[in-house]
Amino acid sequence: MPEDRRKLCPAYGTHLPSNSLLLCLHTMKKNVPVMMDEALGYLEERQKQDPTFTYEVIVVDDGSKDQTSKVAFKYCQKYGSDKVRVITLVKNRGKGGAIRMGIFSSRGEKILMADADGATKFPDVEKLEKGLNDLQPWPDQMAIACGSRAHLEKESIAQRSYFRTLLMYGFHFLVWFLCVKGIRDTQCGFKLLTREAASRTFSSLHIERWAFDVELLYIAQFFKIPIAEIAVNWTEIEGSKLVPFWSWLQMGKDLLFIRLRYLTGAWRLEQTRKMN
């Protein structure tokens, strides 16, 4: 195999990264350079300041119809596959399904999930790291820190229509009533998990689209995994993939589905083996 092909193949050696960053993309060719430059700029600078900090970025292209993978792959060529890897799914699986694929391809001791639209800035991962450390001692090395926009709720309500605000409150009630207690913002895409927590939760995950965050936290609470909710900076980004009414309706149906499937025993939570 030619040398230039070899260095683009994933490397699974003994020097594994301390952190994995997962980015799920769907037809976001124009967003890739801005997002990757910001992420890698932060990660490279942090590594210069702290040589013990190592990382990998895993980009999961969730069945894009444009050249998202091709653009992302240029960063693999530039930084090498130890630092950047691209997983291309032929068929769209949904955000949860794509993130799950990335989780089980990751090698980091801690795994950061981040939305690819840049709504949350990467330096805020340090807030999540502190929140994660504050949960120690971690039972079975499991802990989760969730980014939260709950502190911005009043400002958000002022900018939203009455109908969207009503949908938001309805969704929050259903989350609390059916699935997850004590977490005010389940849907923020900025989450940091220890490797063991990621293994335990994603091994049991069924929902593959937008409500997967709720099932993820439902599973975590079932296994009594410590969870910290941490306020992060957040910016409203135009061009969201969600269509408000139909997305909320689908997520509401998913919440009811999650509750009923676990309640009836159709889905069961059992101890799962760890990722290698």
204: which residues sit within 8 A by CB, 6+ positions away? 219, 267, 269, 270, 272
The residue among 175, 111, 176, 101 whose CA lies nearest residue 144 is 111
Domain count, the chain: 1
Is 272 among the domain residues? Answer: no
- Nearest C-alpha neighbor of 72 from the set 26, 33, 21: 33
269 in a domain, yes or no?
Answer: no
CATH number at residue 251: 3.90.550.10
Domain that holds residue 146: 3-263
What confidence tens digit (pLDDT) does each residue in 149-166 have?
Answer: 987 766 554 455 666 777
* pLDDT on residue 239: 53
270 belongs to a structural domain: no
Q: Is residue 207 part of a domain?
A: yes
pLDDT confidence of residue 2: 39
More confidently predicted of 206 and 11: 206
Determine if the pTM surpasses 0.85: yes
Task: Provide φ and ψ at 144, rounded to 5°.
Answer: -135, 135
Of the pLDDT bands very low, low, confident and very high (cuts 50, 70, 90), residue 265 is very high
36 pLDDT more than 50: yes
- The answer to whether residue 222 sits within a structural domain is yes
**Is there a domain that residue 268 lies in?**
no
On whether residue 40 sits in a domain, the answer given is yes
The answer to whether residues 128 and 192 touch, using CB atoms and an 8 Å cutoff, is yes
Among the listed ranges 63-77, 101-115, 150-164, 197-211, which one has the minimum average pLDDT value?
A: 150-164
